[in-house]
Structure 1
Amino acid sequence: MAAEPFPIWWRGITAPPPSAWQIMFSEFTGEDTADEWALAAAVFIAQTRRRTSHGPTFAELFTHLLPDTDGIPGPFPDGLNHHERRRAVTGFRGHVAIEWRRRGMISWDKDVTRSLRVGREFRSRSRRRQQDGGASPRHPASVNSDTPHRTGSRRGFAQAEPVTGEAAPRLRAIVDRFAPGWPELIDVGPGWFSLLVRLDERLGSMAPGYVLYQCKAKFGVLRYYASATGDGSPEPEPFDEAIAAAEAESARMCELCGAPAGQYVIDLWVYTFCARHAAEKNAEAASRRQASA
Structure 2
Amino acid sequence: MPESYPIWWQDIDSPPPAEWVYMFEDFTGDDTAEQWALAAAIFIAQTRRRTASGPTFAELFTYLLPDSDGLPGPLPRNLDFMERRRAIAGFRGHAAIEWRRRGMISFDSGVMRSLRVGREFRERSRRRQQARDAARRACGTEFETIAGLANFMRPQNETSDMTDDFPPELQGLVKRIAPGWPELLEVGVGWYPLVGRLDEKLSAIAPNYVVQQVKSKFGALSFYADPTADPSSFDEAFTDAIRAAEWESTVTCEVCGSPARQYVIKMWVSTLCGVHAGEASGDGPDPDSSSATA
Report if TM-score (shorter chain) is over 0.5. yes
- One-letter amino acid of the counterpart of residue 72, structure 1: L
Q: Which residue of 1 aligns with 2:277?
A: 278
Shift of 1:145: 5.3
State the alpha-carbon separation in 2 of the partners of residues 129 and 180 from structure 1. 25
- One-letter amino acid of the counterpart of residue 61, structure 1: L
Q: Secondary structure at the match of 1:8?
A: coil
Shift of 1:182: 1.9
CA gap 1:197/1:133 in 2 versus in 1, 3 angstroms? closer
- One-letter amino acid of the counterpart of residue 172, structure 1: Q
- One-letter amino acid of the counterpart of residue 281, structure 1: A
Question: Is 2:272 the counterpart of 1:257?
Answer: no
Q: Which residue of 1 aligns with 2:33?
A: 34
Q: Secondary structure at the match of 1:214?
A: strand
Q: Secondary structure at the match of 1:148?
A: helix
Q: Normalized against structure 2, the TM-score is what?
A: 0.83
- One-letter amino acid of the counterpart of residue 123, structure 1: R
Question: Is 2:194 the counterpart of 1:195?
Answer: yes
Question: Is 2:171 the counterpart of 1:172?
Answer: yes
Count of aligned pairs: 266
Q: Which residue of 2 aligns with 1:83?
A: 82
Q: Normalized against structure 1, the TM-score is what?
A: 0.84
Shift of 1:146: 6.6
CA gap 1:148/1:272 in 2 versus in 1, 3 angstroms? farther
State the alpha-carbon separation in 2 of the partners of residues 38 and 264 from structure 1. 13
Shift of 1:239: 1.2
Q: Secondary structure at the match of 2:256?
A: coil
Per-residue CA deviations over 1:62-90 (Å, capped at 9, x if unaligned) read 11101111111111101111111100000
State the alpha-carbon separation in 2 of the partners of residues 3 and 83 from structure 1. 18
Q: Which residue of 2 aligns with 1:216?
A: 215
- One-letter amino acid of the counterpart of residue 193, structure 1: Y
State the alpha-carbon separation in 2 of the partners of residues 230 and 132 from structure 1. 29
Per-residue CA deviations over 1:240-289 (Å, capped at 9, x if unaligned) read 111111111111110011011110112222100111111111129xxxxx
- One-letter amino acid of the counterpart of residue 96, structure 1: A
Question: Is 2:148 the counterpart of 1:148?
Answer: no
State the alpha-carbon separation in 2 of the partners of residues 196 and 3 from structure 1. 56
Question: Is 2:8 the counterpart of 1:9?
Answer: yes
Question: Is 2:58 the counterpart of 1:63?
Answer: no
Shift of 1:112: 2.5
Matches within 5 A, 1:123-138: 123-133=122-132
Q: Secondary structure at the match of 2:269?
A: strand
Q: Secondary structure at the match of 1:44?
A: helix
* Structure showing the higher helix proportion among its residues: 2
Shift of 1:127: 2.7
- One-letter amino acid of the counterpart of residue 75, structure 1: P
Question: Is 2:105 the counterpart of 1:106?
Answer: yes
Question: Is 2:97 the counterpart of 1:95?
Answer: no
Matches within 5 A, 1:209-248: 209-248=208-247
Contact map agreement 2:2 2:13 (CA 8 A) in 1: no
Q: Which runs of 4+ in 1 moved over 4 A?
A: 136-147
State the alpha-carbon separation in 2 of the partners of residues 182 and 45 from structure 1. 28
Contact map agreement 1:146 1:169 (CA 8 A) in 2: no
Q: Secondary structure at the match of 1:216?
A: strand
Per-residue CA deviations over 1:77-129 (Å, capped at 9, x if unaligned) read 01111111100000000100111111111111222231111112212222333
- One-letter amino acid of the counterpart of residue 19, structure 1: A
Q: Secondary structure at the match of 2:242?
A: helix
CA gap 1:178/1:133 in 2 versus in 1, 3 angstroms? closer
Q: Secondary structure at the match of 1:217?
A: strand
Shift of 1:234: 4.3
- One-letter amino acid of the counterpart of residue 237, structure 2: P
Per-residue CA deviations over 1:193-225 (Å, capped at 9, x if unaligned) read 011111111111111111111111111011111
Q: Secondary structure at the match of 2:257?
A: coil
State the alpha-carbon separation in 1 of the partners of residues 189 and 241 from structure 2. 20
Contact map agreement 2:54 2:114 (CA 8 A) in 1: yes
State the alpha-carbon separation in 2 of the partners of residues 147 and 259 from structure 1. 28
State the alpha-carbon separation in 2 of the partners of residues 16 and 89 from structure 1. 14
Question: Is 2:38 the counterpart of 1:21?
Answer: no
State the alpha-carbon separation in 1 of the partners of residues 263 and 181 from structure 2. 30
CA gap 1:171/1:145 in 2 versus in 1, 3 angstroms? farther
- One-letter amino acid of the counterpart of residue 268, structure 1: M
